[in-house]
Structure 1
Amino acid sequence: MFGQQHFAGMNTSQRTGMVHAGVNPAELANLGSKYEIQVFSVSANATNNKIGFSDLFGNDSFEDLVFRGTEAVDLRFDGEIYGPGFAYKMDNWTFALTSKAYAKLDLVDVDVRIGDAVSTATLNAIINGSTTINNNYNQRLNGTTWGEIGLSAARNFYDDGTHKFSGGLTFKLLFPGSYANLGADRFSGTINNNLGNVTLTDASANLNIAYSGNLGEEFTQFSDYTGSLFGSLGGVAADLGVNYRLSDVEQPNKYRINAGLSVRNIGSMKYKSANNSSTNYVLSIQGAESLNLNQFQNVESLEETENILLQSGYLDRATNTKTDFKVKLPTVFSAYADVKIVPKFYASVYWQQKLNPDDANDQITYQNVIAITPRFALDNFEVWSSWSNNEISGISGGIGVRAYGFYLGSGSIITNLTSDNKQADAFIGYSFGLD
């Protein structure tokens, strides 16, 4: 999963493949064979600002770990799967057909006092008494699955044997699977704990409750995501990129510099079904009124959460319920350069910047990241160590290896084994070329 950089180190490997095209479609112009066949690739990541790797081996529950302290929770589970893909190179053009699927579960800026009160009804911050909350941002719980079919084209625009410039475009058909979003904007209120009886008083917030498909029924189980990766056609998107290569006169078919710029995920998708629901509400609890928070402890469905709140009488509809609603893809800008240091040793720098904030209820999240990757590279073998710094979990370091078209690795295994790192990820894949 994203750290949020899938395939850390492999995406700037010496052997160009579909993973490279996922970062920058212009890289397809650098394929080393006439045909490229993507068999599979899987990347998975969990990153957060609360739970260290060593915490996983303790006796504390997940809720106790994630809602401890005072800092708001940012937690992301993210998966990306490349299905079968094919590319064909002829003269100055390269064309490709790819398939991908995504699954995400995010907690964005969730107040630990609210999360603890709702999930455990113990209120770690206070054993008995009250705590007042006044937030001026949007807290979100969000789950999303969708699939993509990509049609790519790349072209060499200039190549004098030393300098090479290429451009590329990927047009993507989007197949939204399932969706769930609970947003609480500008939440204020007082949480009271009386010997485990937890209530909310003097409260107000702007709520968005939206759900579609499997994630409307439940969003905590692995099968909730894998069971609905592809839905019906519901949107389009595009990736754009340019690439520059400076050839290595000392080593034929090698480069001294390979650099690129890209903008990805320009687009949105629409979830359409009679069973869908997206509603904006105003929560208002005034005077002697109170909402019993204990009743939310075992809730795993947003629809059930919505029904409990409606039955309480403290929700007013701010907009009519929609059965069709749009969700924006996480548009991101990327820049990278892989540079030859000495023969067989290279180093790459990769920078990723999201172009939209994560707090909008209709926005799929992403992370900003910068990574440095030194590598030892032979024609059919590479080993590298990728070191990244992302906005949620901080610094992570890992290792990866490629033998011919097979590759595997992790962008965090080194720091997981040597320090209390807050990220865990791994990837594996295989592709091959034919002339």
Structure 2
Amino acid sequence: MKKTIVTLGLLMGFSAFAQDHFSGMSTSNRVGILNGAMNPAEFVNLSKRFEVNIYGLSFNVANNKIGFSDISSDANFEELLFKGTDPVDARVDAEILGPGFAMKWMKWGFAITTKAHANFNITDVDPDIGKAITNDNFVLTNIPLNSTNNQRLNGVAYGELGLSAARSLFENDKHSFSAGLTLKFLFPGTYSNFGLANLNGQISEGPTGAYLTTNSPATLNIAYSGNLADSFTNFSDYGKSIFGGLNGTAIDIGFNYQWKGGSKDYKINAGLAFKNMGSMTFKDGNNQSTNYIFDTQEPGPLDLSQFDGVDNLKEVEEILSTNGYITKTTGGKDFKVKLPAMINLYADFKIVPKFYVSGFLQQKLQDNEGNDQITTVNTFTVTPRFNIGFFEAFLPVNNNEISGTNVGLGFRFRGFYLGSGSMVTALINDSKQADIYTGFRWAFL
């Protein structure tokens, strides 16, 4: 697995990411499909009667170990990724907004949207295991392992088609309240998961290599579907199979309140949304999800050098099974995975004419340890924003549980927008976050 780890180290070495896609744009008072994707109740507040989304792209990379200064240094990426004692957390994530259409009619708002997701995650991986696999300079030592967490390598790609409806429930000269719902039809494309939980034992390093011994049985899940069955480190494989067949549904439910400041403006715009409540089932000829007991007591210590050059889960499974290290408990060909359910809570305040400040909180509703769970992160963003109608500039300041605090920069000129949630920090400090987003939409009447 050495080449796998090297690839991941290089990939994650380009810093880190906050899951707040389109940071700063989604809370703009120029309301459109981006706002509705965050909270379906916002479709009632569309700035124009009609909007057509042409494209939108948000790409993010994340880890909790490597900063920008490390990219240009002579340091070894593998050593940096597995340095210290804190578990390794890393993400690569892309969200693509495809063609979409939204409209408002009387007290209603409607939309049809398309979206694609692709991400790869390293969650709670013990750095000592990474060191043992990647290090060729062995010394005589024993490294204790005692992790109750589920150490995961996980990747997924899927598409969605959303049908949204929102309605104004109350409105007068000063206040308005609306609610909305999006029904998502899910198209699972490809999936992979390696989850090793309750690992207690030690790694013994000597002249002949590194060996893993367990003191008690651990649990292991290996699952794969589609292209990721053959390789889970090549990000192009995610793009080849984003949209599979229709095989899942989810819903978003949202609420919106406005304290009005005029016929076309507000003093406060606040919202609450419950997102991604649903799941999808992977069905493919290349499918498998199996739970195992992992134990080295009877076959003897596991030689970690056997994973040198391995880049897919089938090979990992075969090595462990052939040598008697795993015992199957449950499994099947078709399996279900849960979407990353979350709460979005936000408020946008008009400070003075043309100047606004918004606060946005994303809180996940589940932990990331479940082998059937697509992961996400908690994040909080404060965005000062200057808006003169056709032009808008914003400065998002975000904090997330992986890379800490970062400052970005972005702008909108009519329907085109471009921004980043970490650009300023990357230029002036050793940021552990890198992301960029761009898009174009056309609103009229």
Structure 1 residue 340 displacement after superposition: 0.7
Matched, 1:206 2:215: no
Q: Deviations over 1:81-118 (max 9, x none)?
A: 00000112211111111000000100000000112223
Rounded Cα–Cα distance in structure 2 between residues aligned with 1:273 and 1:242? 38
Matched, 1:328 2:299: no
CA RMSD of aligned residues (A): 1.4
Q: 2:394 matched to which residue of 1?
A: 384
Match of 1:368 among 373, 378, 382: 378
Q: For the Cα contact (< 8 Å) 2:299–2:324, is it kept in 1? A: no
Structure 1 residue 196 displacement after superposition: 5.5
Rounded Cα–Cα distance in structure 1 between residues aligned with 2:288 and 2:181? 34
Matched, 1:254 2:269: no
Letter aligned with residue 340 of structure 2: P
> Structure 1 length as normaliser, TM-score?
0.96
Q: 1:186 matched to which residue of 2?
A: 198
Letter aligned with residue 272 of structure 2: L
Q: For the Cα contact (< 8 Å) 1:121–1:196, is it kept in 2? A: no
Q: Deviations over 1:373-398 (max 9, x none)?
A: 11111111110100011111110111
Q: For the Cα contact (< 8 Å) 1:140–1:182, is it kept in 2? A: yes
Match of 1:8 among 4, 7, 23: 23
Letter aligned with residue 70 of structure 2: D
* Equivalent runs, 1:7-26 vs 2, <5 Å: 7-26=22-41
Letter aligned with residue 174 of structure 1: L
Comparing 30-39 with 55-64, greater Cα deviation is found at 55-64
* Equivalent runs, 1:253-292 vs 2, <5 Å: 253-286=264-297, 289-292=300-303
What SS does the aligned partner of 1:10 have?
coil
Unaligned runs of 5+ in 2: 1-15
Rounded Cα–Cα distance in structure 2 between residues aligned with 1:31 and 1:388? 26
Structure 1 residue 192 displacement after superposition: 1.6
Matched, 1:241 2:254: yes
Q: 1:2 to 1:242 in 2, by over 3 A?
A: farther
Match of 2:87 among 72, 80, 84: 72
Letter aligned with residue 419 of structure 1: N
Q: Deviations over 1:187-233 (max 9, x none)?
A: 12221222351111235310000000011110111211111111111
Matched, 1:314 2:325: yes
Q: Count the aligned residue pairs.
A: 429
* Equivalent runs, 1:50-89 vs 2, <5 Å: 50-89=65-104
Q: 1:139 matched to which residue of 2?
A: 151
Q: For the Cα contact (< 8 Å) 1:278–1:322, is it kept in 2? A: yes
What SS does the aligned partner of 2:26 have?
helix
Q: 1:290 to 1:80 in 2, by over 3 A?
A: same
Give the % identical residues: 48
> Structure 2 length as normaliser, TM-score?
0.94
Matched, 1:93 2:118: no
Structure 1 residue 18 displacement after superposition: 1.1
Rounded Cα–Cα distance in structure 1 between residues aligned with 2:260 and 2:53? 26
Rounded Cα–Cα distance in structure 2 between residues aligned with 1:81 and 1:194? 48
Matched, 1:107 2:122: yes
Structure 1 residue 288 displacement after superposition: 7.6
Comparing 192-201 with 382-391, greater Cα deviation is found at 192-201
Q: 2:52 matched to which residue of 1?
A: 37
Letter aligned with residue 367 of structure 1: V
Q: Deviations over 1:38-70 (max 9, x none)?
A: 000000111221111211222334322211111
